[in-house]
Copies of this chain bind each other. A is one copy, B any other.
Amino acid sequence: MVALNKLIKEKFVFLLYFICVCTFIQAQSAQIDKPKFKRHYYIKKSVYEALPNTNDEILFVGNSITAGGKWAELFNDLRIKNRGISGDVTEGILFRLDEITESKPLKIFLMIGVNDLSYGLSVDSVLQNYKRILENILKDSPNTKIYVQSVLPVNDNFDYFKNHTNKGELILELNRKIKLLAEKFNLVYIDLFSFFVNEQGKLKEECTFDGLHLNGQGYLLWKSTIEKYIH
């Protein structure tokens, strides 16, 4: 009877062990299968990868706010290429940095971070990724001139993107730290924030229809602010 009990116990322990191993394997394969980013991200990444590399590229890298700018048209300059992806985050930029540095671009205008904050990431986590982005660009394309652009202010007077437009305070903190980071790397920091903020500390209402994205007037203001760095 004791021997039988022991046998059952052993079998039970083995079964338990087997279940644990199976669960672990399943979790691992799920981790492999599950895409890190949204479908839209992979579509745009594939579009950018399919485009030819050219000389002296000037890349605008960022999220939907960058993606919404018709940069080559605004500056009448075919060297300028849009590498914005709607919804992108610092990790997303890191994950597609090879396509960005591959052509050894002349200049990169970078703006990223507001989506990270909207997902609840801490300022220091965003900054850690930001640092890795700068390090990797400088490692893979040391002659590229990087322009670090501040994150823009948001405006919570609109009924859109509430998870973004309530991050006004965090954006201030993030920009302070991005500026220090840019200085540490000896890069140009462009304080767009100051040009886009109104007296209430919010994104100027004439520049937006939703408190987060820019309208036509917004892009014209952006253009006038960075024009001197393009040519």
A residues with a Cβ closer than 8 A to B are 39, 42-44, 46-51, 54, 68-70, 72-74, 76-78, 81-82, 160, 209-210, 213-217, 219-220
Contacts and interface: CB of A to CB of B under 8 A. Distances in A.
A51 B76 contact: no
A78 B74 CA distance: 11
A39 B50 CA distance: 30
A83 B57 CA distance: 23
A48 B78 contact: no
Nearest to A44: B68
A217 B43 contact: no
Contacts of A54: 76
B43 A70 contact: no
Given A39-B209, A213-B43, A216-B47, A78 B81 contact: no
Contacts of A216: 46-51
A209 B43 contact: yes
Contact of A39 (B51, B78, B160): B160
Given A209-B43, A210-B39, A216-B46, A51 B70 contact: yes
Contact of A81 (B51, B70, B82): B70
